[in-house]
Structures are given as C-alpha cells and as structure tokens.
Amino acid sequence: MREILGRRRRLRRRARPAQLDAVLVCATAWQWPVLPGVGLEAVDGRGGRDGLGRGCACPDPECAVPGAHPFDPGLLAATTDERMVRWWWTNRPTAPILLATGGRAPCALSLPAVAAARALAELDRMGARVGPVVATPTRWSLLVAPYTLERLGELLYAQDRVPSSLRFHGEGGYLVLPPSATGTGQARWERGPARGPEQGAGARGTARGAEAAEPWLPEVGTVLDALVEASNGAPDGGSRLAY
C-alpha cells in the first residue's frame, strides 16, 4: 500500500496545470511581465455572468470584466521573476494570466470578435502579416511591438478615419492571455506565437508548444494601416470592422 501511495504522489507532482506551463513560457522565455487576474468564484443563489453560477472574485457585484482584471496583487506587481510567478500560480493554479502591456512588453489592438474575424480574413487576402492573436468569445486582440502613447497619437492623427470598434492596449494596460478562463469565456490563440516571418501569418499554436525565443511582433503602425484599409469598402458600403 505504501508503494502504491508513493507512486500516486509522484504522479501528482509531475502533473502541472496548463496555466503554470503557459505563464512560465510568457514570463521566463519571452520576458513578458505577467500577474494573476482576480479570477472567478461561485455565486450563491444566482447565476454568474458566465451562466455557470460564477462571478468575479472582486467585491464589485456588477464587475464589467469578471475575472479578467488585476485585484491583489495590483498591475504594478507584474513581473518576469520565475520564483514569484511559480508562487502565484502554485497558490492559485487556475488564476487568469494577465500581460502588463507597454514599456518593453507587447501592446495590442483589439476588436469585437465578429469584426476581428472579418478583419483577419481581409488582412490574409491583402497579404498583410499579423503576429499573435488572442481570441475570447467577445473580443480578439492583435499583439504588436511596444509603442508609446505619443507614437500612437501620431499614428491616429495621420488617419482620416479610425474604426470606433478599435481599442488600444498600451502602457498601463493589461491583456488576458491563453489558456485563461474569465467571465466572458475561455481565451485561446487564434494565431499562435511564432518566431519569424518564415513561419507565416497563418501559423497556429499554443504557448506550451511555442519556441522559447520571444515571438515576432509587427509594428503598430503597420497593423493600424492594414486594419483601416481592411475596414473600408464593405459590400454594403459600411465598415468591415463594425459589430
């Protein structure tokens, strides 16, 4: 009996949640500063926003982004330190993975899911290359190289019109990374991280299977120009990036 129990303990020690594997790749291999999201908890007596009796673990009963935001620790605690990351996800193995955007970390442009799917199809048709794309049931986020608010302002000023459905995740912001589960559903890689142009825009993958080298990221101006161009000329005369 002791031998069987000992074997079971060894098996448990070898099994690691997908969350920990993914966050270690982000923090240690790619040097992306991360921190745990507040996550979800059971809601007594009523259904949560995800329809499964779960709501945000923060004190706000009407939280607009259930489970998908920093709480304790706060955003400034984001780190690439392996020991800290292991401690966080050992104690909270299902906590969402939040990327602190900006600075030396990736930034992102996000769109409503339906509009983003249309935009990616159009970008593929145009031959424009995009980097990693994080998809949730409600919004998709296109990761880009770090940019400053000043640089973003210059780029937006140069455009005649920018789709109102676009959101920008730069310095002081954050983004949920796969395989996190939040109140809006599961995050996944629609376009997986890839190292270089030779892997192609359509490469798919997961953080666990990605190369150790930091993923290739396009410049924000290139992606913004392509998205604005892709938004024009819809068959009905409207924007392809509308909801």
Domain assignment of residue 4, yes or no: no
Domain assignment of residue 56, yes or no: yes
Supply the range of the domain harboring residue 102. Answer: 16-231
Total count of domains within the chain? 1
Domain assignment of residue 7, yes or no: no
Domain assignment of residue 193, yes or no: yes
**For the whole model, what pTM was predicted?**
0.80
pLDDT tens string 101-152: 999 999 999 999 988 898 898 889 888 889 999 999 999 999 999 999 999 9
Domain assignment of residue 89, yes or no: yes
Domain assignment of residue 1, yes or no: no
Give the separation between CA 96 and CA 23, rounded to whole angstroms: 10
Give the separation between CA 170 and CA 140, rounded to whole angstroms: 15
Domain assignment of residue 11, yes or no: no
Domain assignment of residue 237, yes or no: no
* Inter-helix orientation angle 149-157/220-231, to 10°: 30
Write down the pLDDT at residue 202: 42
